[in-house]
Structure 1
Amino acid sequence: MIDLRSDTVTRPTPAMRAAMADAEVGDDVYAEDPTVRALEERVAGMFGGRHTGLFTPTGVMANQIAVRLSVPPGEELVLDADAHIVAHEDGAAAWHGGIQTRTTLSPRGLLRPEDVASLLRVGDTYTVGTRAVAVEQTHNRGGGAVYPLAQLQAIRDLTTAAGVALHCDGARIWHAHVATGTAFAEYGALFDTLSVCLSKGLGAPAGSVVLLPEDRMPEARRMRHRMGGAMRQAGILAAGGLYALDHHVERLAEDHGHARMIADRLGEEGLDVVAPETNLVLVRLPEPRPDAATVVARCREAGVLVSGFGPRLVRMVTHLDADASSCAKAAEVVAGACA
């Protein structure tokens, strides 16, 4: 099977497995795992060194820790209506943090400064106040769309003026760096908190890092523990993340090229394809074309796995385990399934 459902389906390479097997470990609940600490320091340094890193088993947990540090229960988080925090985290902000979300529809999921300005509100006895804004780089449901740096800076200026925190769900921020050349430190300078994922695109088996102010670390570690994310000899997982940072970041350009190749091939068939900026390909299926469930089923029968991302929307994600020939074959299968 050629699996293009997500870039989370990758398996550790033999060299990554060797690095994990050789990892020096300790007890991370006591903050004594040297490989975990090396990963946390490495990621914090990559993004400019103004944050402290905390390793978490999942990206959802990283996001939830970050937003809860900025938004107390009963207060408000502003973000795009299709943001991962809203659409794909099982209501965790409300369930665990008692956080109210206020959303707006944005082009390809990228908040516009003027929309943010209209949504920010000051709390009082009768009004819920905005405590944080969250952006997603790159945007999953926006087809891997990349926020331009100037747009993020304008949002940062607004939130600073309003005394509101700015969080970045940077699960695929590695792709934004490769696509635009923007330095990680430039991104790090913009945000109060930032989460990055090691198992999307980079090919590690698990793990994310949340970047946060150093004085909030005791609170963040306690939140991680409370949510069941405090692991013991977690250096085995962290070693996979370190290997990925050393070997799998710049190669993301290959995945971006494969995504453009798939999009171009599907465009030749007259399909309505959202132009990919990174490694995600979205195909709209207006009538009389088959719906997404039919396309997904036809592709599976032909040996290709894709995702239904709505009743008439199909998503493909290129990644480390899908080479050029696999992606070319997948494009032919999807073209036929959409006929």
Structure 2
Amino acid sequence: MFIIGFVRDMKFPDISGRSVALPRPWPKISAPSNDYGMGEVRYQRNGQRLFFQNLYEIEVQPGDSLSKYSMILYGNFNQIDAFARPKQPGLAVYDLNDIKPIVNPNLIHVGELLYHIPTIEENNDTSGAVQIGAGYQDLNLRDAPNVALPSGIEIIAYDNYDFSGAGEYWTTFGNTTKFTDVQSFVQGVLSAASGQKIKLLHIQAHGDSSGIYFGDCGQSIPTYRYPWSAAPNGNYVHVGVFNNYRAEFAKLRPHFADGAWVVFRSCKTGWAQGLLREFRSLWGVNVLAGKGLWNNVSDSNDGDYVIYEKGGGEYRTTTLPWALQHDTLRAKGWRDNPSW
């Protein structure tokens, strides 16, 4: 139904079924907050904000309605059909095949996850709403590559300021280095390399759909931090601030072997397309990251893996290539004794 903007005292039902007054005049665009926070993509209009998690996913909050979402994104109430539900609740949504229409637009539920169709389609016509963050271009699914690593050293760089990181730290052996921020990461990797070329670098840290946390940036639940943890002083690196750290990261480029790989062992960083391309270009390496939650104890990710090859190839796979797994004592044993 087309709604005329000059109608006064217009009311629209929210998810509780009540009628709520809509603002007059209609909201105007406001300035961006430039807050990348926990990797949310944010839209705002006239002080009202809409948060997308994982780039196109909305968790319904009390007082929400599809008309409210439409107003924030488009400046009108007509675009309620731009939102959809997952076909199978609880499973990840990657493309249009994973969603279904909302039959009753007046019946959405607090806590359920909805999806913005134009963002999934990569055709996000938001008519002036401020977007903070970047969209995601889905990659073709392929078999995992048969990776042949060049000669050189394998390094595991990690942070373990909280209990989660500490638990996963104990799975690492060999050439390791601990970091608390970007600078200590770079210096630690250089020290661990000891003048050798790096064939494989694992970066083991917390992450989200927009970036990676180099050290403690305050994102962990306080009770899960070590009691002796210092105040957060790490660096949250996403594509919007990459240039701030470019010179520091660039110190590693001469130390990578030709054909080297970098594995980002951080949750959901596989969604951070622009950031992964920046690292690929700056370091001249092949890059792998996961789109789901990464467990370094089991050496696995519960989502697809994305691969950005040095030569320009970009695709996703469901399997972590064997050569890119941790070179732990356990893995060495498996390699030396295939019958185990």
Which of structures 1 and 2 has the larger relative contact order (alpha carbons within 8 angstroms, sep 6+)?
A: 1
Name which one, 1 or 2, has greater alpha-carbon Rg. Answer: 2
The structure where strand makes up a greater share of residues is 2
- TM-score, structure 2 normalization: 0.32
The structure where helix makes up a greater share of residues is 1
